[in-house]
Amino acid sequence: MALGNLSISRVDGPRPIRPRNAEPALDRTGERSRPDKAKESQSSAGTRGAVTLGAERTKLRTRQSEEGSLTLTTAEGDKVTISFSNKQSTKVDQAKLYGPNGSFEATRTRSKETSQLSVSLEGELSEAELKDITDLVSKLSSGLESARSGDFDAAQKQVASTGNLGTIQNYSFAYQQSSNYSFKSTQLSVTA
């Protein structure tokens, strides 16, 4: 399922500070010089405060996946294979523009999640075999929860201590978890 979100908002930023015009200098006679109006408008245009324009773009990418497979054989020779896969990805793109009249921001988020579960059976399971398989899957699931929370030592102990397997002759279990993150930020600032 893909989700999208786009929002644009305006946030008023600080107003640029305009410097004061300097006091007129004293001329040789000790009096303050008075520029004519043409020079005054020219000088005030030349001393306007500097305007800073800027832009910032940020990209964040995350990917997480987990895959597992359980293969077992019962004492009667029935074979069961259970495999699963969960994948999640998120992309966040953010753009900001800064100017003398405020700032603007746009954010776009896309998420995708997929899950798959596959079960194959060769033979017929009795009620006792089905119960023992359910118990084994429950014990392995406890180990997976520890692995997801980052406690891999506890996960290995929980998976290794399955205890009495009842009607299950042998089994093999494999699990892999991976996470990838990337972040990129670009900034541009211009003073005019």
Rounded to two decimals, the pTM is 0.58
- 154 domain-assigned: yes
Q: d(Cα 80, Cα 54) in Å, to the nearest integer?
A: 61
DSSP class of 138 = H
- Strand, helix or coil for residue 147: helix
- 168 domain-assigned: yes
- 33 domain-assigned: no
Q: Which residues pair with 175 in a beta bridge?
A: 68
pLDDT tens-digit series, residues 148-157: 787 878 877 8
The domain total for the chain is: 1
Place of tokens 């194959």: 120
- 22 domain-assigned: no
Domain extent for 62: 2-14+50-191
- 35 domain-assigned: no
Q: d(Cα 60, Cα 173) in Å, to the nearest integer?
A: 34
pLDDT tens-digit series, residues 75-107: 999 999 999 999 999 999 999 988 888 888 899
- 20 domain-assigned: no
Pairing of the two strands 2-11 and 52-74: unpaired
